[in-house]
Amino acid sequence: MEKELFVDADAFVALVDSNDSNHKLAVEVSAAVSNAALGLVTSEPAFGEAVTVISQNVSHAAAIDFANEILNSKIEIVEVNPKLRRKAFDIFKEQTTKNARFTDSVNIAIMQERGLNEIFSFDKDYKKNGFIRIRIDKRI
């Protein structure tokens, strides 16, 4: 079984949006991930969030191009079922900041179910929840 890496919406956005403050690092991480030949996983809510933010920050056309690229790639998009939603809600209830995002809780639930501890994200909340942000908390 190939090693998997979870990808959050903010990483996708940073890759597409050259004005994003994390764009340069996202491109570097993406190249390193590609060289490491990791299987990539994201969630349905993270995919939707990325499409929306890219549409708002870059353009609708860029969002469509991004979505087509992801949908035609080998990136696995995990859909939310009732069990996963409940687990995510339990995780969400444990968060201590008013800025907690339910999408992040869904992502954490997926990573826990799959035994993943590394994520391609710039969000500090993942580190607070015990996950390693590659190229920020750990080199790959």
- How much is the mean pLDDT over the chain? 93
Q: Residue 82: pLDDT band by 50, 70, 90 thresholds?
A: very high
Strand partners, 6: 41, 119
Q: Which domains does the chain have, with CATH numbers?
A: 4-133 (3.40.50.1010)
Torsion of CA 18, 24, 25, 27, to 10 degrees: 80
Q: For residue 43, what are the β-bridge partners?
A: 78
**More confidently predicted of 33 and 108:** 108
Q: For 86-128, write each residue's pLDDT tens digit.
A: 999 999 999 988 888 999 999 999 999 999 999 999 999 999 9
Tens-place pLDDT, residues 61-77: 999 999 999 999 999 99
Predicted structure pTM score: 0.92
> How many whole angstroms separate alpha carbon 56 and alpha carbon 78?
24
Structure tokens given for 96: 């201590």
| 138 has pLDDT over 80 | no
pLDDT at 33: 86
